[in-house]
Amino acid sequence: GQSLEQPSEVTAVEGAIVQINCTYQTSGFYGLSWYQQHDGGAPTFLSYNALDGLEETGRFSSFLSRSDSYGYLLLQELQMKDSASYFCAVSVMDSNYQLIWGAGTKLIIKP
Amino acid sequence: DVKVTQSSRYLVKRTGEKVFLECVQDMDHENMFWYRQDPGLGLRLIYFSYDVKMKEKGDIPEGYSVSREKKERFSLILESASTNQTSMYLCASSFSPGGEETQYFGPGTRLLVL
């Protein structure tokens, strides 16, 4: 079956750096996405990696290693507004194209 | 500015009622999705549609049906609501069915079935 694992909760301090990991076991993999969701809000797209390596967008970076079936989201210079849940999602082509979602990681930021 | 709207933010229904949740997108996307979100379980795909009048079952289609008569509108139907269908329902749309194109989400409908 298809599965993704990410930590349920991560705590960090304002101004620090935090890494949220995502490991996956899927067939037909072709990309890894990250979404952010604030409490009461809708998920919003952060990044997409199809190739190995690091993609940087401002304070956020996303990494993929296809050989290790592993990726992470790196958040730098944490701000209180970054307190949210972060979801990794894997794009697969099985019988059809799909996006399979992890259970989400709640990021708690302390002053 | 892209927009996905859902007909209700909050809904309270009784067991056995038929429930309609509507979703409209203004981005001319072919692909539309219905998810439910429960604490600790992330987003689970109920149904998706890749074209008008086309639909595909997701991971948890039981107890649900969908309708896509127009490109911009995708409806989720609970034929006979049950308490275990109490959840947050999220609609999304995108240019592609996979993840290489952003999925845009509506604000969600929090459904309580009594």
pLDDT in tens, B8-49: 999 999 999 999 999 999 999 999 999 999 988 889 999 999
Q: What is the pLDDT of residue B36?
A: 96
Distance from the Cα of B108 to chain A's closest Cα (Å) equals 7
Work out the number of other CB atoms within 10 angstroms of the CB of residue B20: 12
How confident is the model over A50-66, as a mean pLDDT?
Answer: 96
Whether B40 and chain A come into contact, CB under 8 Å, resolves to yes
Q: Which residues of B touch A101 (CB under 8 A)?
A: 35, 42-45
- Substitution target in A2, A8, A97, A106 with the highest count of B β-carbons within 10 Å is A97
In whole angstroms, what is the distance from residue B67 CA to residue A22 CA? 34
- Substitution target in A88, A91, A93, A99 with the highest count of B β-carbons within 10 Å is A99
Q: Are B11 and B112 in contact (CB under 8 A)?
A: yes
> Quick one: which of A91, A97, A44 has its CA closest to B97?
A97
Determine the residue of chain A that is closest to B105 in CA distance: A42
Residue B96 has pLDDT above 90, yes or no: no
DSSP string, chain A: --EEE--SEEEEETTS-EEEEEEEE-SSEEEEEEEEE-TTS--EEEEEE-SSEEEEETTEEEEEETTTTEEEEEE-S--GGG-EEEEEEEEEESSSEEEEE---EEEEEE-
Half-sphere exposure (Cβ direction) of B10: Cα atoms closer than 13 Å = 1
